[in-house]
């Protein structure tokens, strides 16, 4: 068995990487023994907590014997030490020439540089590369303190240190911090997320996540083990299957496709409100088999299969590695409605799901109308072109269609109790607001990385298209309205729609002045 044969073995899952720092002493070890938790330890770290996997590079004589012979532990080590261990063993080839650009793609495992090229070798680098190759999507760091004190307690297991060791290790930590700063954007572009569960760590390159949130993320796909029952499973499974098929026949009597999911998240919004950016932000913070469907108000439902599905249904950057899986249940089905003119927001009738969240996305009418108008000027013939223009020319008499839908969405935003109102303006500007939404929607792993990218859906931004892809947060989306502030049709619309102005001021504050 080698790393190539195990590549992608844990695709989409989470792993806790346990390093040597003394902060691991304070971690509640019972939580790491929960079903669904996968752990890897480095060096002698598994001496205080038995991990599922173990990784080392230094001479095998530096580590306790029980780790080398424990058949419950998968052992990752250089080829030269493989013969000293008992199966299961996964040997690998190392290199000591660090280059961030090839770190994930090179065939060997880098763990720093040799002394002649800067030093700073560390098993932590090797372990992270191995976890990437194994297919893990999220890695949660434990025992990563990145600081040693002469005469202090510097490990969570028994090991002596002296002034020289403290100095060398602290220098290595500084070099590792610089390397992780280089690697972080590369990790993110490969949908590989690393989080630090130690709030006092000197390694601040990766975002902090509490242990409880990390456990919640890692086990989100697991059922409640305490409520599982094996009684009569053999006896009644055929009968249950028949009932399930009968229910499907009833639901499918209108010829529609039924899609099943553990959770569904519906996002309703008006075209050019940032629906795809918000959907990508939501999807990027979910763990498991995450599927996205675009504008189910007008587009047909599709089964989660790669075959025959229009590519535009899957062009959210965060879903590059997750779409099209029929081999496992859908954990989260995220979908959108666009330009829906109804008094209430309700789930899609062809989705079977025990848990649902409804989100009303709303952008202020001034910047939204400016983006819609610019999209028309760019030659796009979509909902606004059909219902609010005369052959592409915006006229005040047709803008009432825009006003009706915006007001309907604003009323849902303010008044429908089972709906989460999401202000695009606040979402784009405020991290605190995004933190609040993360909790209200019930997302898994907090991250804003998706906000740097511009989804392809809809051609990107009306004003900038995809020119800011990679730096999307630099776009000024709050001053779009100024392009039309002297246009007669623009001013006439707001001057004659006091109700819309009042709702906008109530939700977003005064914008136009």
Reported as a single tens digit per residue, the pLDDT across 348-405 is: 888 888 889 999 999 999 999 998 888 777 766 677 778 777 777 887 778 888 989 9
**pLDDT above 90 (res 481):** no
Per residue in 284-299, pLDDT (tens digit) is 898 888 888 888 877 7
Per-residue pLDDT band at 318 (split at 50, 70, 90) = confident
CA distances from 221 to 28, 37, 424 (A): 22, 11, 30
Per residue in 425-444, pLDDT (tens digit) is 999 999 999 999 999 999 98
- Say what percent of the chain tops pLDDT 70: 86
Q: Is 279 exposed, middle or buried (0-12, 13-18, 19+ CB in 10 A)?
A: buried
**pLDDT above 60 (res 230):** yes
* Residues 6 or more apart whose Cβ sits within 8 Å of residue 147: 170, 173, 202
Per-residue pLDDT band at 235 (split at 50, 70, 90) = low
pLDDT average, residue stretch 189-194? 88
More confident residue, 393 or 139: 139
CA distances from 389 to 50, 253, 296, 382, 499 (A): 67, 39, 24, 11, 22
What pLDDT does 509 receive? 93
Cα 295 versus chain centre, distance: 21
What pLDDT does 78 receive? 95
pLDDT average, residue stretch 454-465? 59
CA–CA separation, 24 and 47 (whole Å): 12
Per-residue pLDDT band at 329 (split at 50, 70, 90) = confident
Mean pLDDT of the chain: 86
User: Are 355 and 366 spatial neighbours (Cβ–Cβ below 8 Å)?
Assistant: no
CA–CA separation, 297 and 282 (whole Å): 20
Per-residue pLDDT band at 124 (split at 50, 70, 90) = very high
**pLDDT above 90 (res 222):** no
**Which residues share a beta bridge with 89?**
75
User: Are 124 and 172 spatial neighbours (Cβ–Cβ below 8 Å)?
Assistant: no
Q: What 3-state class would DSSP assign to 265? A: strand
Task: Give alpha helix (H) positions in 252-399.
Answer: 275-283, 365-377, 383-388
Per-residue pLDDT band at 322 (split at 50, 70, 90) = very low
Cα 74 versus chain centre, distance: 28
Domains and CATH numbers, the chain: 3-218 (3.90.1480), 254-508 (3.40.50)
Per-residue pLDDT band at 236 (split at 50, 70, 90) = low
**pLDDT above 70 (res 315):** no
Per residue in 27-39, pLDDT (tens digit) is 999 999 999 999 9
Least confident of 197-211, 253-267, 450-464: 450-464
Least confident of 21-25, 56-60, 123-127, 219-223: 219-223
What pLDDT does 259 receive? 79
What pLDDT does 115 receive? 87
Per residue in 244-284, pLDDT (tens digit) is 554 444 344 344 567 788 899 999 999 888 898 999 999 98
């Amino acid at each position: 068995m080698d790393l190539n044969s195990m590549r992608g073995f844990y695709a989409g899952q989470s792993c806790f990487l346990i390093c040597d720092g003394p902060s691991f002493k304070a971690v509640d070890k019972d939580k790491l023994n929960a079903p669904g938790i996968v752990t890897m330890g480095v060096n002698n770290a598994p001496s205080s907590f038995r991990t599922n996997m173990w990784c080392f590079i230094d001479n095998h004589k530096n580590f306790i014997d029980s780790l080398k012979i424990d058949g419950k532990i998968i052992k990752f080590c250089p080829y030269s030490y493989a013969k000293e261990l008992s199966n299961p063993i996964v040997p690998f080839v190392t290199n000591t020439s660090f280059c961030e650009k090839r770190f994930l793609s090179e065939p060997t495992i880098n763990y720093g540089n040799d002394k002649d090229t800067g030093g700073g070798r560390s098993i932590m680098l090797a372990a992270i590369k191995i976890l990437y190759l194994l297919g893990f999507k999220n890695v949660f760091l434990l025992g990563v303190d990145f600081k040693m004190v002469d005469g202090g307690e510097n490990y969570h297991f028994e090991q002596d240190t002296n002034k020289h060791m403290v100095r060398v290790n602290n220098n290595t930590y500084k070099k590792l911090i610089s390397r992780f700063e280089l690697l972080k954007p590369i990790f993110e572009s490969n949908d590989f997320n690393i989080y630090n569960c130690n709030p006092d760590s000197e390694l601040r390159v990766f975002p902090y996540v509490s242990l409880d949130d990390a456990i919640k993320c890692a086990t989100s796909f697991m059922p409640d083990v305490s409520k599982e029952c094996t009684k009569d499973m053999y006896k009644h499974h055929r009968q249950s299957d028949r009932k399930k098929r009968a229910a499907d026949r009833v639901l499918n009597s209108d010829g529609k496709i039924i899609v099943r999911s553990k959770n569904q998240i519906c996002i309703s919004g008006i075209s050019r409100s940032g629906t795809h950016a918000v959907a990508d932000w939501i999807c990027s913070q979910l763990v498991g088999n995450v599927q996205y469907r675009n504008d189910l108000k007008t587009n047909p439902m599709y089964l989660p299969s790669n075959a025959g599905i229009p590519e535009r249904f899957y062009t959210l950057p965060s879903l590059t590695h997750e779409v099209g899986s029929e081999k496992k249940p859908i954990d989260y089905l995220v979908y959108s409605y666009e330009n829906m003119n109804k008094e209430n927001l309700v789930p899609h009738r062809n989705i079977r799901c025990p848990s649902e969240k409804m989100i009303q996305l709303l952008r202020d009418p001034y910047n939204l109308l400016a983006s819609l108008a610019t999209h028309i000027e760019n030659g796009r013939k979509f909902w606004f072109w059909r219902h609010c223009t005369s052959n592409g020319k915006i006229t005040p008499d047709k803008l009432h269609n825009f006003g009706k839908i915006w007001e309907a969405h604003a009323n849902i935003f303010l008044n429908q109790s089972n709906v989460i109102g999401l202000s695009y303006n606040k979402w784009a500007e405020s991290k605190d607001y995004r933190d609040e939404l993360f909790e209200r929607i019930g997302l898994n792993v907090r991250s804003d990385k998706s906000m740097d990218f511009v989804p392809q859906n809809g051609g990107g931004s009306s004003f900038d298209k995809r020119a800011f892809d990679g730096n999307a947060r630099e776009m000024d989306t709050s001053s779009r309205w100024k392009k039309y502030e002297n246009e007669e049709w623009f001013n006439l619309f707001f001057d004659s729609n006091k109700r819309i102005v009042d709702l906008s001021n109530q939700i977003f504050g005064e914008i136009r002045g």
